[in-house]
Copies of this chain bind each other. A is one copy, B any other.
Amino acid sequence: MQESRSLVRLTAYTDGVVAIALTLLVLPLVDTARDAQTESVRDLVREHAGDFAAFVMSFAVVSLFWMVHRRVFDNLVDVGEGIMLLNSMWLLGVVFLPVPTAVLTYEVNQGRGATLLYMANLVLIALSGLLLSLRIRDRVPLQRPGRSEAVDRAVRRGVIATSAMVATLVAALFLANLALPLLALMPLAQAAAERRAHRRHHPGAATDRRKG
């Protein structure tokens, strides 16, 4: 039951990288704060309302991906090289996210290119997460005892998240950045899908639902 030092360290390292990527998202906004030298704060806020929205969206996306990652890793007692490599791929996607976020912030003509870049990045993160879940399912000795159900659930969640990201990417081909609000539906859709799957598969087990 005792988690290995490698797992502890990989987890702490991952959390550190995510925490920094999350914080770097704000840098383009710190940069636009310079405009306060020449215009009123009211104009600044009005003009950059869309950039504030892009920041909040990326912040929410990273936070949600991190919560999913936490739940997936909660099923482990140890990690191997394969999980480490897939985790690095996941981190690459998270670390890169400030770039498409900044493109969304700076882009003026609001074509679909910025949205496609952004969604491609989210697909990379979701797909790496799915591959991580599949790898964990295949490596039973690395799992905490009695966690096979949670591992299966993580795989199902990964499939849903990846599909939703790909669907939004395709929608962005036609709708450009109007597709982005669809992402707001995702946590709701996923919660609904999970609840249904959960009830179908194990009608009695609801232990980690009762908690706040």
Contact = CB atoms under 8 A, between A and B. Distances in A.
Interface stretch (A103-111, A152-160, A178-186, A197-205): A103-111
B17 A95 contact: no
Q: How many copies does the complex hold?
A: 4
Nearest to A18: B13
B95 A22 contact: yes
Contact of A20 (B11, B16, B55, B109): B16
A15 B73 CA distance: 18
B16 A102 contact: no
A81 B29 contact: no
The A interface is mostly helix, strand or loop, or mixed, namely: helix
23 contacts: A13-B15, A13-B18, A13-B66, A16-B20, A19-B19, A21-B23, A22-B95, A26-B98, A28-B33, A29-B99, A33-B105, A34-B106, A36-B103, A36-B107, A41-B117, A45-B117, A56-B92, A63-B88, A63-B91, A79-B211, A80-B211, A135-B212, A142-B211
A10 to B, nearest CB: 8
